[in-house]
Amino acid sequence: MGSPATSTARLEARISKELHATLKRAAELQNRTITDFVIDAVQEAAKKAIEETEVLRLSLADQECFAHALLSPPKATPALKRAFTRHRRLLSVE
């Protein structure tokens, strides 16, 4: 037998004739099929949407502030010390 087949899924969409013509023209300009053109475009759009949601981008000033806070954290306030004490008590097994 040959190699295992790649698993695929089907995606269908109703689009206007104008959009279809635009996609067809763009695909032809790149010497590709409409399917290849659309798959590539959709894949790039999906990656961008996920990246914009999951990746946090900081300005240089924000990066420096974050690094400073990690390297030189402020001293714990009395309220924070009480919160840690309560937290330890809640998690301790009696």
Domain boundaries, the chain: 17-91
- pLDDT of amino acid 45: 97
Mean pLDDT taken over the chain: 91
- pLDDT of amino acid 57: 87
On the question of pLDDT at 21 being above 80, the answer is yes
* Helix (H) or strand (E) run with residue 83 in it: helix 78-91
On the question of pLDDT at 28 being above 60, the answer is yes
- pLDDT of amino acid 56: 86
Separation between Cα atoms, residue 94 and residue 90, nearest integer Å: 10
Cβ neighbours around 27 below 10 Å, total:
18
- pLDDT of amino acid 92: 85
The structure tokens listed for 34 are: 């409409």
Separation between Cα atoms, residue 51 and residue 46, nearest integer Å: 9
On the question of pLDDT at 93 being above 70, the answer is no
Separation between Cα atoms, residue 18 and residue 24, nearest integer Å: 10
The structure tokens listed for 31 are: 């010497």
